[in-house]
Amino acid sequence: MTTYTDILPQILETLNPYAKKAGQLKETTDLVSELGLDSLQVMQMLLKIEDQFDISIPLNNLPNIRTVQDLGQEIETLLKG
């Protein structure tokens, strides 16, 4: 079973191109304010994440995903379901 600790490094690797500085990403990084992603970039990033983990993140869950940690926990929940 894939756990949060397995998921986190993969998320950080996927998000790294969006970081303004190397090493900027951590669990508490806010996806919108700290990375400066606009809505199109957020959707592109989510599509990459969905493809990577073979999941579909429900649109009604998106408002709850603010940080890297939130994203990892959502992925873990979806993989368990």
What domains can you pick out in the chain, each with its CATH number?
Answer: 4-80 (1.10.1200.10)
**Which residues touch 5 (CB under 8 Å, ≥6 apart)?**
none
Residue-level pLDDT, tens digit, the chain, 81 residues:
789 999 999 999 999 888 877 678 999 999 888 888 888 888 899 999 999 999 999 999 989 999 999 999 999 999 998
Q: Give the predicted TM-score (pTM) of the model.
A: 0.90
Q: How far is CA 52 from CA 20, 33, 36, 79, 80, in A?
A: 22, 24, 22, 12, 16
